[in-house]
Amino acid sequence: MSNLENTLKQLRLSGLLQTLDVRLQEAVANRLGHAEFLELICQDEINVRQQRLMERRIKAADFRGLKTLEDFDWSFNPAVHRKEIYDLATGNFIRQAKEVLFLGPPGVGKTHLAQAVGYEAIKMNFQVLYRSIFDLVRDFMKDEAFSQQDRTLRRYLHPELLIIDDFGLKQLPKNSGEHLFEVIMRRYENRSTIMTSNRPLEEWGQTPRRRAHRRRDSGPFLAPRPDHCHYREELSA
């Protein structure tokens, strides 16, 4: 190992080290100046660090599966408003600390779209956490037994975007709704939350549907909400 390689490892410049030989050859072949060469190798290091950061954030998000908007079959459910979905993917609702609802029966693409929007958020350097409602309840009930609810609550309050999937799919254990309610209310106007549910808002009881305005039509829609919930997409089979 050369002294230069050893120095780069000590400085933790592994991205630069990976491309150094190629960049040296490129510098000679193209007669690059010192500043041009330095800019190239520094950019290589930045690229590697950004990629590793994204990989760590994807792992921390704990997606059920990595889904993208490019992978979504728009022809499968052509009534989904593609323009509004891509508007969500810009992350503006996260910057505004707004909430999003995806509603509809199982199998219409709610989970895919929620995770895909989350993936786009990670690409914009937002911290994201994906949990099903069952994961959320299990996390709190497990840590409740060990008196560590505060740690769990911090985990759910910290991400700039929290995705809660499958709300209303099955009945939850007694008193577990209190944990969900606390998470939603503590994040309200501070952090963004996406929720998916197969239940219409009318069946949500005292969950955050108050002041929601109902628009009825034949297909799914995505529309601005006058209160803190930024968008609501209703997907039909």
Give domain limits for the chain: 3-61, 82-234
Q: How many beta carbons lie within 10 A of that of residue 86, not counting itself?
A: 12
pLDDT over 60 (residue 161): yes
Whether the predicted pLDDT of 87 surpasses 70 = yes
The mean pLDDT value for 31-54 works out to 92
Confidence of residue 43 (pLDDT cuts 50, 70, 90): very high
Can you read off the two tokens belonging to residue 149? 């609810």
**For residue 218, what are its two tokens?**
């034949």
Phi-psi region of 217 (alpha: psi -120 to 50; beta: other; left: phi over 0): beta
Residues linked to residue 164 through DSSP beta bridges, in sequence order: 131, 195
Fold classification of 82-234 is Rossmann fold (3.40.50)
Report residue 123's pLDDT band, with 50, 70 and 90 as the boundaries. very high
Q: In the prediction, which pLDDT does 142 show?
A: 82
Structure tokens at 83: 């323009």
Looking from the CA of 208 toward its CB, the CA atoms found within 13 Å total 27
* 191 phi/psi in degrees, rounded to 5: -140, 155
pLDDT of residue 8: 85
162 within 8 A of 187, measured Cβ to Cβ: yes
Q: Residue 178: its pLDDT value, please? A: 79
Find the mean pLDDT for residues 227-232. 57
- With a cut of 80, say whether residue 34 has pLDDT above it: yes
Lowest mean pLDDT among 44-58, 104-118, 168-182: 168-182
